Amino acid sequence: MSTDAIAVKAKLEDVQPLRALFLQEANFQVRYNACHERGWSDSYLLEIDGATAGYGSIKGQKREERDTVFEFYVMPPFRKHASTLFQRLLTTSAASYIECQTNDRLLCSMLYEFGHHINADTVLFEDHAVTAHQLANAVVRLRRESDRIFPHAIEPVGEYVLEIAGEIAATGGFMLHYNLPFADLYMEVREDRQRKGLGSFILQEVKKACYQAGRVPAARCPLNNHASRATLINAGLRVCGFMLLGKVKERPKDFEADPA
């Protein structure tokens, strides 16, 4: 007896109940969570013999394209059909890439089954420890309109500033584009003040503000940015995963569904 598996393009609201199940089961920050609400993704319902089994989401390596599977969820009663459903999703969406977090075990397993030329480019962090760094004559506070902020090269100017002897030496904050309850920490230290522990100190204080706002701190940085990685770890975070990108091995052709 064969199983009929299909992927049907759907509206975002059609897959939101399934996304709620995915996010509850995952319980980690989803890097590309904002792609849905910003209209940068396509949604597909996955069905087995006419019954809803899960969903898949496709974004683009370039924003206007839709060529990359980045979310895939199958409800536990149908999970034995995950490979069949994923192949159907690839066929229907014509996706060429698979991008996933290593802490997303289901999609990661699909990446290794259906992808090749797999590379990592980003490190993901979760909060791990409470730190008690101290810095003489330093205070972390909310930024004021009158503050003289140094030019930022990488990150936006943060809502919080690290002030030392009346000068702003670093800024930081947390963004809310992750799924609840997670927030994305960021900071930047003035060039002449770098490598003196200021980054870890402001992140330590921003973490407190993040929790007080009802959010759980998380972060990410490029794989080759060893300074940022060390700063995050020194602020009490730890590596919880990596972002992986792989090319689909070959365009799946129509196939006989798997045996029931």
pLDDT at position 102: 98
Residue 253 lies in a domain: no
Residue 254 lies in a domain: no
Q: Give mean pLDDT in consecutive 10-residue pieces for the chain, a chain of 260 residues.
A: 86 98 97 96 97 98 94 98 97 97 98 97 98 95 97 96 96 97 98 94 98 98 96 98 96 52
Residue 64 lies in a domain: yes
Whether 212 and 195 map to the same domain: the answer is yes
User: Looking at residue 47, which CATH number applies to its domain?
Assistant: 3.40.630.30
Whether 135 and 105 map to the same domain: the answer is no
Within the chain, where are the H helices? 12-26, 34-37, 82-93, 105-114, 198-212, 226-234
CA atoms within 13 A on the CB side of 59: 19
Whether 9 and 117 map to the same domain: the answer is yes
Whether 143 and 203 map to the same domain: the answer is yes
User: Pick from 73, 74, 118, 72: which is nearest to 97 by CA?
Assistant: 118
Asked if 189 contacts 152 with a C-beta cutoff of 8 angstroms, the reply is: no
Task: State the pTM of this model.
Answer: 0.91
Residue 198 lies in a domain: yes
170 bridge partner residues: 162, 189
Whether 141 and 160 map to the same domain: the answer is yes
Residue 260 lies in a domain: no
CA 18 from chain center: how many Å?
18
Domain holding 167, by residue range, is 129-235
pLDDT at position 205: 98
Residue 138 lies in a domain: yes
Domain count, the chain: 2
pLDDT at position 82: 98
Residue 259 lies in a domain: no
pLDDT at position 2: 61
Residue 13 lies in a domain: yes
pLDDT at position 250: 81
pLDDT at position 40: 96
